Amino acid sequence: MSEAEPLMVKIEIDGAIALVTIDRPKALNALSRQLVGELLEAVTELDVHPDIRCCILTGGGDKAFVAGADIAEMQAMPPREARAFAETGAALGSALEMSTRPWIAAVHGFALGGGCELALACDFIYASKAAKFGQPEVKLGVIPGFGGTQRLARRVGIGKARELVYTGDTINAEEALRIGLVDRVVEHAELLPAARATAAKIAANGPIAIAEAKRVILEGADLPLEAACALEQRAFGELFSTADQREGMAAFLAKRPAAFKGE
């Protein structure tokens, strides 16, 4: 294994919002094993941080969110090692998807291969007008390995996912918005401010309710409608045992901002 690089994940905390920056710009933020491990550790730590209510994930430098996995590192991997790398990447995607905190991907430049997969694992994606998305793995003789074939199909539909994966084509931000791959497109200078503004709105709401909403949406997506609605009803009822519910409704009736404590 090559010598470890300096830490490549930076975390900045501003009140209830965490900004996580993938800082490997010379390699276009390509996902090495070390970087995937650092990201997984960061997500795990922020998920139990008492003050954090929303997280933003972005890439350092001007050219890429994440341009893909580190091909130089992957090239000589035997099958067992390659599968282990995919499993670690999948664990990172699951950690983002199942985190009790919402994650906003703020994408500029390239989000290809593992970068697109990383963004797909977040709750939603904001993109600059210069962003580029794609799953070009078939051009390397492999397929997406960090959840791309599955999350892409769930987000944009199976037909469009097949087209993007089979061709390996790269699409621009406007096309990504049109097909539902991203949720908002803004000028580059507005990308982080837009993500921060949304994160601030989320952070002002009841954190237990946000976590339950995220869980119910995720778990209910693969259930029959009746079972999914029952899941929602149970969560709704259980939230009436929280101090946040009492504070939120009291604040509404008193016409004042709620002071949620996550209790």
Rounded-to-integer distance, Cα 46 and Cα 168, Å: 33
Closest CA to 92 of 136, 135, 156, 145: 145
Rounded-to-integer distance, Cα 67 and Cα 84, Å: 21
Residue with tokens 């709750």: 123
Closest CA to 90 of 152, 148, 147, 154: 147
Task: Name the phi and psi angles at 144, rounded to 5.
Answer: -55, 140
Strand partners, 57: 20, 105
The pair of three-digit structure tokens given for residue 198, joined into one six-digit string:
């949304």
Q: Is 137 one of the annotated active-site residues of the chain?
A: yes
Residue of 137, 163, 232, 263 marked active site: 137
Residue of 45, 117, 190, 247 marked active site: 117
Burial degree of 260 (CB within 10 A; 0-12, 13-18, 19+): buried
Q: Is 3 one of the annotated active-site residues of the chain?
A: no
Rounded-to-integer distance, Cα 187 and Cα 227, Å: 41
Name the residues annotated as catalytic: 117, 137
